[in-house]
Amino acid sequence: MEEVPQAACETVEAVDGVHLTQMAVGEQMSVQQFHIEPGAAVPEHSHRHEQVGYVVKGTFTFHVNGEEYVIGPGDSYVVPSEEPHEARNDGEEPVRGIDVFSPPRPNPDWQD
């Protein structure tokens, strides 16, 4: 087993108001925390990784394939591999949650 204390993980501001923390990275998947400030957006992008997530706090809106999905506390989601998607926090409180990627996403573009 490998323990990954949160204090050992670096948080980066991927785009204005979007803070991402790379957590554990295994052979088959990786875990990332996210914090999205009110009014901030993750621009449309895609990646080879299947992405599943869980929202702990706040509400944000995903745009996927021309459809809109409002995701709030306790909700989870799946974004298939290579599916273009974007997300925006139109609420008044930050959104906090966890994403899991498979295969692992140890060096996402936001770290380059």
Percent of the chain with pLDDT over 90: 91
**CB contact at 8 A, 35 and 76:** no
What's the domain count of the chain? Answer: 1
pLDDT at 96: 98
Residue 107, domain member (yes or no): no
Q: What angle do CA 105, 74, 98 make, to 5 degrees?
A: 20
DSSP annotation string for 1-48: -----GGGSPEEEEETTEEEEEEEE-SS-EEEEEEE-TT-EEEEE--S
First to last CA, the chain: 28
Q: Please tell me which residue, 107 or 4, carries the higher pLDDT value.
A: 4
**CB contact at 8 A, 70 and 54:** no
pLDDT at 19: 96
Range of the domain at 58: 6-102
Which domain CATH number covers 15? 2.60.120.10
Residue 50, domain member (yes or no): yes
Per the listing, tokens 């204390």 go with: 5
pLDDT digits (tens, 9 = 90+) for 64-111: 988 999 999 999 999 999 999 999 999 999 999 999 999 998 877 654
pLDDT digits (tens, 9 = 90+) for 29-55: 999 999 999 999 999 999 999 999 999
pLDDT at 110: 59
